[in-house]
């Protein structure tokens, strides 16, 4: 664990880590390497760099693997959701076309019913007219 230089609070995990190789080499030409990480203090919010033990690298890899698994799970869920939505859309499209056909048949039935009623009304008007003429001729005679 690493402590914040300002407030002394322990910072759990680095935000970012990288390997540093100094320009100087050792006497046997081995290049020493160590890891540095950027930390953010949870108390004061300051950012600072500190040397990180090599175990932090494995933690980061483990975290990345966990995140990759979560992404795969989320991707699988989204794929299933997309497939389900496509199926529902197909069902709704067929239902929509059947409803439109039913509406058309109802319109035709309503139009034929309206024509029949119009013909009946016209026939009744004709009867009224003939009755008026009949009554009109009898009223004149009396």
Same domain, 23 and 68: no
pLDDT value of residue 31? 65
Please report which confidence band the pLDDT of residue 59 belongs to, taking 50, 70 and 90 as the band edges: low
Same domain, 85 and 101: yes
Asked whether residue 139 is assigned to any structural domain, the reply reads: no
Higher pLDDT, 70 or 16: 70
Judged against a pLDDT cut of 60, whether residue 16 lies above it is answered with yes
Asked whether residue 138 is assigned to any structural domain, the reply reads: no
Same domain, 46 and 61: no
Greatest Cα pair distance, the chain, in angstroms, is 147
Same domain, 44 and 99: no
Same domain, 120 and 66: yes
Same domain, 90 and 128: yes
Same domain, 42 and 59: no
pLDDT tens for 61-115 read: 677 888 889 999 999 999 999 999 999 999 999 999 999 999 999 999 999 999 9
pLDDT value of residue 63? 79
Asked whether residue 78 is assigned to any structural domain, the reply reads: yes
Asked whether residue 48 is assigned to any structural domain, the reply reads: yes
Count of domains forming the chain: 2
Whole domain around residue 1: which residue ranges?
1-53
Higher pLDDT, 60 or 69: 69
For the chain, give the percent of residues with pLDDT over 70.
82
Same domain, 49 and 59: no
C-beta neighbour count of 22 within 10 angstroms: 10
Asked whether residue 20 is assigned to any structural domain, the reply reads: yes
Mean pLDDT calculated for residue range 17-23: 78
Judged against a pLDDT cut of 80, whether residue 29 lies above it is answered with no
CATH of the domain at 22: 2.30.30
Is residue 17 within 8 A of residue 2, CB to CB? The reply is no
CB burial readout 72-102, b (16+ within 10 A) else e:
eeeeeeeeeeeeeeeeeeeeeeeeeeeeeee
Same domain, 60 and 27: no
Asked whether residue 18 is assigned to any structural domain, the reply reads: yes
Asked whether residue 142 is assigned to any structural domain, the reply reads: no
């Amino acid at each position: 664990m690493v402590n914040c230089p300002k407030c002394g609070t322990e910072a759990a995990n680095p935000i970012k880590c990288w390997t540093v190789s100094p320009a100087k080499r050792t006497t046997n030409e081995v290049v020493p390497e160590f890891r540095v990480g950027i930390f953010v203090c949870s108390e004061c919010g300051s950012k600072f760099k500190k040397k990180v033990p090599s175990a932090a690298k494995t933690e980061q890899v483990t975290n990345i693997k966990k995140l990759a698994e979560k992404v795969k799970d989320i991707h699988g869920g989204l794929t299933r959701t997309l497939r389900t939505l496509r199926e529902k859309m197909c069902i709704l499209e067929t239902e929509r076309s059947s409803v439109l056909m039913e509406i058309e048949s109802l319109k035709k039935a309503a139009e034929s019913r309206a024509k029949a009623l119009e013909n009946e009304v016209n026939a009744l008007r004709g009867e009224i007219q003939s009755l008026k003429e009949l009554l009109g001729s009898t009223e004149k005679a009396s």
